[in-house]
Amino acid sequence: MPARTSSKTVARSISTKSSKKAVAPPKKAGKPSKLAKAGKAVAKASKAVAKAGKAVAKASKAVVKKAAPKKKAPALKAYDAAAVKATAKASEKWAKEELAQITSKMPLRRKQFVTDSGIPIPDLTTLADRKDEQLERIGLPGQFPFTRGTQPTMYRGRLWTMRQFAGFGTPADTNKRFKYLISHGMTGLSTAFDMPALMGYDADHSMSRGEVGKEGVAISSLRDFEILFDGIQLDKVTTSMTINASAIVALCMYIAVGEKQGIPMSKLAGTIQNDMLKEYIAQKEWIVAPRPAVRIVTDMIEFCTKNMPKWYPVSISGYHIREAGATAVQELAFTLADGIGYVEECVKRGMDVDAFAPQLSFFWDVHNDFFEEIAKFRAARRIWANVLRYRFGAKNPRSWQLKTHAQTAGVSLTAQQPYNNVVRTALQAMAAVLGGTQSLHTNSLDETYALPTEESVTIALRTQQLIAHESGVDRVVDPLAGSYYVEYLTDEMEKRAMEYIRRIDEMGGIIRAVEEQYPQKEIGESAYRFQREVEQGDRLIVGVNAFKSEKDAPIELLHIDDKVAEEQKARLAQVKAERNNEAVQAALAKVEAAARGTDNMMPPVLEAVKAYATLGEICDVFRKVWGQYREGGAF
């Protein structure tokens, strides 16, 4: 997993204290004081909120029974007008007196406080700032628009899935790591593949030299997948596979292994990343051009919808967009735009949105700006619910739900003072949980140097377990709902993300925007601004440009022996010698025919995999039909 030596600092809003002046009791009965009037107004507001809450609960039940009403009922305001007015007046007084007095003696540390995405942070957020708050926009957990989470019970019913990225060396090496992590409480397998596999090359290709097994597990044929999952019953685990350009080959290999274990594909549960649009935007691992690549993604969505009800055929990924230098708002906007693009392609094919949308999933980065990251999860769920329901006419509530995995920010890890990375990861993991993720991976402290050791990956897993079992956050559903600041950030992120999405729609959709390199240019600008802030000292990163140490203590690193490549090439040669090469060529011919036509690509690729055609051979067919993609420069 790529990691860089820069990180974002948590934006801190200045804390404010209420006035400590004592209020003298009235000497005799008379007209009610202003404080008493305000108290009555707040009490009245509380009754109104309780009444409105009942109305929202009743309306939410109706939503499940009857989707997409033709006419919306009048929006219910969350706060009483009198209480809002009283609070606004009190806040104005506070700013002129207490705040002005303290800042005249001790100026603020900055002229303006903003989030890492540049959203202004007010001196104080109060009920008055939420005067237009609509209860239906916040909703209730498990109900449209899912701002407060996709499940009514959230972690009180079931904890998030704890995943740790595993994949290095030979398939046997990674199989051993899988079993180690399962024995230490990991509840889902997460597979990293090496660069040759990601780019569609076998271990014996000249382009693979020096890269075999180095940043993930080396995979060339079905034989490698058989070793990778040896002794692991695939109907007893959920598996996530981080692979994109050659994802169709990896999924077919997984299906074939399941069949060898006597498990039909309908029983397999898991996710394959398979998000090609974000590859062109950010990660840059591709084989063919965007349009044929998206065609393959659509084929996989269609196939899984019909044959693999427990499988998520695409994980629409903001993670790599953020790691490339995007802000949280850009990550939110471009990721949802990618999702919209995939839905549009499926609908064009004549697929029912309610048939495939429940099997779409998302993948977010979790960076250092604690509250902004929480707000991002909440805004993402609300935007997606509205887009699927009103733009695409989805009627099934499961189609409206944004299901998501999250991973702490690799780009925030630093090579300097690497043990600081444990703290960074813990803060980011807590933000993901408070944001309502369904699945989480926590990075290891040594990932700026190498793939993680067993010791460091155990600490990363223990971080999740401590949050789950000792912090108490698992006991309450969406504890930050109603926070004036969190709701403010949620609204701001939604507004700014929707502006990006509107621009992309005007360009003709996300595929066209990617071809014109619009998201790429926007991310490049943000990455430049961030690095300039670091170099100028406007953004402090502990251990990098602030609080530096003269010498960092050495840490143990995982080293991949170069013998891995030789072992992989030897096994690949054996596979080619033992297989039926006539069957392989016949199967590859069917893959080519499907690529040149309109048939779904999954069946012929599955047949080729079972005949032990290699990953590189199948991807060479893609190159033959559609050509090798090269990206032009963007400035």
Instruction: Check residues 165 and 174 and name the one with the higher pLDDT.
Output: 174
- In this prediction, residue 517 carries a pLDDT of 96
* Element containing residue 345 per DSSP (H, E): helix 328-348
- In this prediction, residue 554 carries a pLDDT of 81
Beta-carbon contacts of 407 under 8 Å, excluding residues fewer than 6 positions away, are 165, 319, 363, 364, 365, 366, 440, 441, 442, 443
Task: State the average pLDDT for the chain.
Answer: 89
* Sign of the dihedral through C-alpha 414, 416, 421, 423: negative
CA-to-CA separations, 214 to 122, 240, 450, 466, 571, in angstroms, rounded: 47, 19, 9, 31, 17
- What average pLDDT does the segment 519-523 reach? 97
Q: How confident is the model at residue 47 (pLDDT cuts 50, 70, 90)?
A: low
- What average pLDDT does the segment 314-328 reach? 97
Cβ pair 250, 194 in contact under 8 A:
no
The answer, yes or no, to whether residue 37 has pLDDT greater than 70, is no
> 């619910």: which residue's tokens?
385
- In this prediction, residue 21 carries a pLDDT of 37
- In this prediction, residue 166 carries a pLDDT of 81
pLDDT > 70: percent of the chain:
88
CA-to-CA separations, 337 to 7, 387, 409, in angstroms, rounded: 26, 10, 21
- What average pLDDT does the segment 610-619 reach? 98
- In this prediction, residue 15 carries a pLDDT of 35
- What average pLDDT does the segment 582-597 reach? 98
Q: Which tokens sit at 15?
A: 């804390």
- In this prediction, residue 557 carries a pLDDT of 85
| 366 vs 345: CA distance, rounded Å | 29
242 phi, psi to nearest 5 deg: -95, 90
User: pLDDT tens across 221-278, in order?
Assistant: 999 999 999 999 999 889 999 999 999 999 999 999 999 999 999 999 999 999 999 9
The answer, yes or no, to whether residue 125 has pLDDT greater than 50, is yes
The answer, yes or no, to whether residue 19 has pLDDT greater than 60, is no
The answer, yes or no, to whether residue 9 has pLDDT greater than 80, is no
| 624 vs 619: CA distance, rounded Å | 9
- What average pLDDT does the segment 412-438 reach? 97
C-alpha closest to that of 7 among 453, 279, 366: 366
User: pLDDT tens across 567-576, in order?
Assistant: 999 999 999 9
| 254 vs 250: CA distance, rounded Å | 6
Cβ pair 268, 255 in contact under 8 A:
yes
- What average pLDDT does the segment 460-465 reach? 95
The answer, yes or no, to whether residue 24 has pLDDT greater than 50, is no
Q: Which tokens sit at 461?
A: 């897993």
Residue 272 in 3-state DSSP? strand
Q: How confident is the model at residue 165 (pLDDT cuts 50, 70, 90)?
A: confident
85-92, long-range: CB < 8 A, 24+ apart: 85/41, 85/128, 86/37, 86/38, 86/41, 86/42, 87/126, 87/127, 87/128, 88/126, 88/128, 88/131, 90/38, 91/124, 91/126, 91/128
The answer, yes or no, to whether residue 29 has pLDDT greater than 50, is no
The answer, yes or no, to whether residue 426 has pLDDT greater than 70, is yes
Amino acid at the residue 372? E
- In this prediction, residue 4 carries a pLDDT of 37
- In this prediction, residue 61 carries a pLDDT of 46
Cβ burial of 590 (10 Å; 0-12, 13-18, 19+) is middle
Instruction: Check residues 326 and 48 and name the one with the higher pLDDT.
Output: 326
- What average pLDDT does the segment 159-168 reach? 85
- In this prediction, residue 188 carries a pLDDT of 77
| 235 vs 127: CA distance, rounded Å | 50
What's the residue count for the chain?
A: 635
- In this prediction, residue 633 carries a pLDDT of 72
- What average pLDDT does the segment 104-117 reach? 94
Cβ pair 489, 119 in contact under 8 A:
yes
User: pLDDT tens across 186-227, in order?
Assistant: 767 889 999 999 999 999 999 999 999 998 999 999 999 999
The answer, yes or no, to whether residue 528 has pLDDT greater than 90, is yes
Q: How confident is the model at residue 511 (pLDDT cuts 50, 70, 90)?
A: very high
The answer, yes or no, to whether residue 107 has pLDDT greater than 80, is yes
The answer, yes or no, to whether residue 62 has pLDDT greater than 50, is no
* Partner residues linked to 542 by β-bridges: 546
The answer, yes or no, to whether residue 362 has pLDDT greater than 90, is yes
- In this prediction, residue 185 carries a pLDDT of 77
pTM: 0.86
C-alpha closest to that of 422 among 408, 432, 440: 408
Cβ pair 514, 279 in contact under 8 A:
no
- What 8-state DSSP symbol labels residue 309? T
The answer, yes or no, to whether residue 49 has pLDDT greater than 50, is no
Instruction: Check residues 414 and 163 and name the one with the higher pLDDT.
Output: 414
- In this prediction, residue 38 carries a pLDDT of 47
What is the CB neighbour count within 10 angstroms for residue 356? 23
